[in-house]
Amino acid sequence: MAQSNPRLVVVGSIGLDTIETPRARREEILGGSAVYACAAASFFTRVGMVGVVGTDFPLRHRRLFERFGIDLRGLQTVEGRTFRWSGVYEEDFNSRRTLKTELNVFADFEPRLPPAYRRAPFLFLANIAPALQLHILDQMERRPRLVLADTMDLWIHMARTDLHRLIARVDVLTLNDSEARHLTGRHSLVAAAHAILRLGPRAVLVKKGEHGCLLFTPHGIRVLPAFPLEEVYDPTGAGDAFAGGLSGWLASRPRYSLPDVRAAMVHGSVIASFGVEAFGLDRLRRLTRPQIEARVREFRAMCRV
């Protein structure tokens, strides 16, 4: 049977992470921005993954993508080593230091959108070099209804010109609080977000880790806490799962307006909260839709004023 086209396309990194938290250390586990985002989105919509792995990429990880129902026509395998990243978390789990980033096959990656992806109505440009994010955007045959992009300090530092070009072309930019400050040189998050809005996007979504997130649009500010957890095991990928869950949930709606974006933020936060309950994808791979819905109800009740 012919595969149906994805409603949401995600481009980003696919890699092997070595993570050290105050609780434990894991070596070379499955990670990457596109992986967390696609896994999160797969609970709500048909999602296609765009990225590259090397010939050393374990088959069991590919099988896991299939179990999530992720469309893999955009996943390339090339001769060489898969992307690797390692990081260590401080005692409070909020600050993280990158120990090593090995781009490997990403260094020469030329993302190619399969024809079946080029008219997707939703596009999430997860964290990856801004030049690659732009390259994907250029290949879309029609303007998606929503283009969301994420970035990180490394690119603000190394690829600022490309990043500015990208920001001017997306609907929503997501980044964390320190990155918003770094990008704009403004300490106040409100001032920083407004400075980013002036670069062109319709909305800026500032992530504040365990303190939740803020959505800035020209019409106002929306605030959402993070779902409070008793224990966190591994915060890696929380931002990607948040944005993937958010865009996946929006992609599952026939149409959307601002109140839907807030509901999407709730769903993204809930998926991210499950994700950090175990290392890597260990919790998301066991997650069910009824568990998500139950936590969404609990979260909505908590947020009511």
Which parts of this chain interact with ligand AMP (CB under 6 A)?
13, 15, 17, 31-33, 85, 101, 127-128, 154, 236-240
User: Of the candidates 189, 253, 259, 265, which has an alpha carbon nearest to the alpha carbon of residue 227?
Assistant: 265
**Min CB(22)–ligand AMP separation in Å:** 16
Q: Which residues contact 259 (CB under 8 A, 6 or more apart)?
A: none
User: Closest by alpha carbon to 173, among 217, 233, 236?
Assistant: 217
Residue with smaller CB distance to ligand AMP, 132 or 146: 132
Report in angstroms how near the CB of residue 97 gets to ligand AMP at its nearest. 12
Q: Considering the complex, state which of residue 5 and residue 86 has its C-beta at the smaller distance from ligand AMP.
A: 86
Could you count the other beta carbons within 10 Å of the beta carbon of residue 122? 23
- Going from the C-alpha of 29 to that of each of 85, 109, 196, 246, the distances in angstroms are 10, 22, 34, 24
CB of 299 to ligand AMP, least distance (A): 20
Give min distance, CB of 4 to ligand AMP, in A.
28
Of 85 and 216, nearer to ligand AMP (C-beta) is 85
CB of 255 to ligand AMP, least distance (A): 29
Give 238 or 261: the residue with its C-beta nearer to ligand AMP. Answer: 238
Q: Is the CB of 5 or the CB of 174 nearer to ligand AMP?
A: 174
**Coil, helix or strand at residue 15:** strand
Q: Tell me if 31 sits within 8 A of 85, measured CB to CB.
A: yes
Minimum CB distance to ligand AMP smaller for 31 or for 248: 31
Which of 237/245 has CB closer to ligand AMP? 237
Q: Pick between residue 132 and residue 261 the one whose CB is nearest to ligand AMP.
A: 132
CA–CA gap between residue 55 and residue 36 (Å, rounded): 21
| 62 exposure class (CB count in 10 Å sphere: 0-12, 13-18, 19+) | middle
| Smallest distance, ligand AMP to C-beta of residue 2, A | 32
Tokens 């915060």 appear where?
Answer: 235
How many CB atoms neighbour CB 193 within 10 A? 25
**Which of 107/302 has CB closer to ligand AMP?**
107
Cβ-proximal residue to ligand AMP, closest one? 31
Question: What span, in angstroms and rounded, lies between the C-alpha atoms of 258 and 262?
Answer: 7
Q: Do residues 147 and 172 make contact, with C-beta atoms less than 8 angstroms apart? A: yes
SS3 132: helix
* Dihedral sign, Cα of residue 39, residue 41, residue 43, residue 49: negative
Q: Which two tokens stand for residue 265?
A: 């933020």
